[in-house]
Amino acid sequence: MSKKRITTGPFFVPLSPSATDFFFFGRVNNGLNIILKNHSDKARTVRVTVDQCAAALFPAVSVEGAPALPETTVTLQPDQCTILPVVVSFPNTYRVVIRGDIDLDAEKMEVSVTGGSTNAGLVEFADPTLFFRMEDFVKDEVDDDD
């Protein structure tokens, strides 16, 4: 498998998609959906991880905890797509990392992330601060034993 790796970089999960959603409907941000699409002409495999860290305002710091999504291998045949649901909570910070048959020009596998208030694992009310398009990902240097 390729050693390419892309990431969202760290991001904070706010309490709710909006004040109205919270105060009137009790909706909180409790999930991410990682959407993968293989639009190439052969099978592609990626490994997806979502790291998490408790929020800490400087000068306090926090140590990265157990991943919100342990490394998960996804193989998609041509023209297949899938959604990986991930449980998240306020006030943590997260980082989505994707390794393998992925590149920033989306010639192999495309990815996007959306987050917000979920129902049965799918984002039902999205929070715009938790939306990452393919072009929002950045290349991450591989410095481990992938």
The CATH number linked to 12 is 2.60.40
Tell me the whole-structure pTM to 2 decimals.
Answer: 0.88
Tell whether 144 is covered by a domain.
no
Is 145 inside any structural domain? no
Outline where DSSP puts E strands in the chain.
Answer: 5-7, 11-12, 31-38, 44-54, 69-76, 81-87, 92-100, 109-119, 122-126, 138-139
Residue 51 domain flag: yes
- Provide the pLDDT confidence category of residue 142 given band limits of 50, 70 and 90: low
Q: What is the mean pLDDT of the chain?
A: 88
In a domain, 146, yes or no: no
Which of residues 106 and 43 earns the better pLDDT score? Answer: 43
Q: What percent of the chain has pLDDT over 70?
A: 91
> Once rounded to an integer, what is the mean pLDDT over residues 50-65?
88
Number of domains forming the structure of the chain: 1
Enclosing domain of residue 99: 5-139
Rounded mean pLDDT, 45-61: 91
Q: Is residue 66 part of a domain?
A: yes
